[in-house]
Structure formats: structure tokens, C-alpha cells
Amino acid sequence: MDCSRVIPKVENSIAKVIAFDPEVKKSVGTGTGFVFSDPSILVTCDHVVKNPKYLYFLKFPDSEGFVTTKVLLRDEEHDLTLLGIQDSKRIPLSYYRGEAKKGLEVMFSGYPLDLAELTTHQGIISSVSKDETGITTYLIDGTVNKGNSGCPLMSKDGEVIGVVNAQIRERRDILDKVERMYSGFISIQSVDLVDIYKALMSNLQLGIGYAIPASYIPSHKNISVDSPNADNTPVDNLSNKGGEKKK
């Protein structure tokens, strides 16, 4: 599938989402989000912006600086969140009206592995399944990595089929506990096991991924980005490591 004609049309509507810890003054995690349905609304996965102690910033491919954002609406059941933005030039991605069936060619653009540049992968929907609670998920035959969470799963025409989720995986209950651990708990020959795990997960490419159907994206009709919960302040630079300006 040739994605070259579609990427220029959608890339400036897809942002890198950066979690910033004000206590340690550095970024502590990244994900992806995309403008959908309305220029003032950005969709991402809830786990990307889960920690209320963090500040969250957006960086679009065509923007020089970073923009702060706040959560407008959470849907924890489907791991989806709406963020507020104030940027009238952003073009919302459109909804895919066809059938998301097995074998459908798809593409997804995001910021895996904390990469600065938007990265696009392609594949097919391998299966459409439901979990024990009845929630539908799409299994993707395509490489999904940490940081892809919240990026749009799109048709060959750039229409949104679903929201990619890099945290849907086997034994997530155990892995989530490890990811919340800090370094220094246990080590072997002076090498911290938590650091080893996080390094392995950051570089692990399984060749498969998951996505939540776009039909689960919550409605934004009753939300105003002008509310006190939607602070959208331009930022010139973002510290990545204690006092260092992120370039």
C-alpha cells in the first residue's frame, strides 16, 4: 500500500503527547494523539495522560514549540481520553464509514520509542474480537511500539478506523505493576532489574498490535475548551532532563 499521498494530508493533525514531571523537571513518558471530529479536540489513550501530577504537552510536526493541554473527558472503560486544544488550523481526521473487517489494509502514524519525527507503519486487521466484557478490539498485523498509544488506525485514505493501544497485552496486570516501580528495588551485579525490563519493553517489536474501534471515542458535544479545565498555553521549550532544553 502506497501511503505517500495520504501522510501529508494527515500528519499535521497528529501530535506527540509528552508527560512532564514538574518535581524532577523532565519528561517521563510519551504517546500520540490526533485531532478528531472537531479542531478543538484531540483523542489519545487514557493511560497516556493518566497521572494527575504530571503536566502534558503537545507537539505537532509543523509547530515550533510545545502547547500545554488538559483532560476534558475520560473513558477509562475503553482507555480513551479527550484533550482540549486551541488551534483553528488543525484539520480533524475523518471517520471511516466502511466495515473494519479481517484483511483490511490499514496504516497508523505516531511517535513510537520517543522518536521526534512522526513515523508511519502499515499492515492489515488480522482479527476482530471481543473480550470478556464485550469490548471489541482489532488485532493489527503491524509493528506497534511503546509511544504508539493514542495514534490513529487509518484506512488507505487516511480515515480513522480506531485508536491504537500499545498497552493491551498478555498479563498486563503484572506488567503494569512493574512499570510503576522505580529503579533501586532489586539489582543483579549492580544492574537494576526494573531498568532492564523497561529497556527490553522499549525495544521489543512483536509485529502485532491492538486498536480500539473509533466508534468508542466519547462524544465531545457538551465540552468547551474555553472551560477552566482546558488550559492551552504556548510553550517555547520543554525540559527533557533537569534544566536541559529539549530541541
Same-domain check for residues 153 and 221: no
| Predicted TM-score of the model (pTM) | 0.78
Same-domain check for residues 109 and 173: yes
Same-domain check for residues 139 and 65: no
CATH at residue 122: 2.40.10.10
Task: Name the 3-class secondary structure at 101.
Answer: coil
Same-domain check for residues 136 and 59: no
Same-domain check for residues 133 and 228: no
Same-domain check for residues 129 and 210: yes
pLDDT in tens, the chain (247 residues): 899 999 999 999 999 999 999 998 888 889 999 999 889 899 999 999 999 899 999 999 998 889 889 899 999 999 999 999 877 688 999 999 999 999 999 999 999 988 999 999 999 999 999 988 889 999 999 888 889 999 999 999 999 999 999 876 544 555 556 555 656 566 666 677 767 666 665 555 555 789 999 999 998 755 544 443 444 434 444 444 333 333 3
Same-domain check for residues 184 and 237: no
* Residue range of the domain that includes 224: 7-92+217-245
Domain annotation covers residue 97: no
State the total domains in the chain: 2
Question: Dmax of the chain from CA atoms?
Answer: 55
Same-domain check for residues 60 and 163: no
Per-residue DSSP letters for 12-26? GGEEEEEEEETTTTE
With a CB cutoff of 8 Å and minimum separation 6, the contacts of 52 are none
Same-domain check for residues 229 and 203: no
Beta-sheet pairing, 66-69 with 55-59: antiparallel
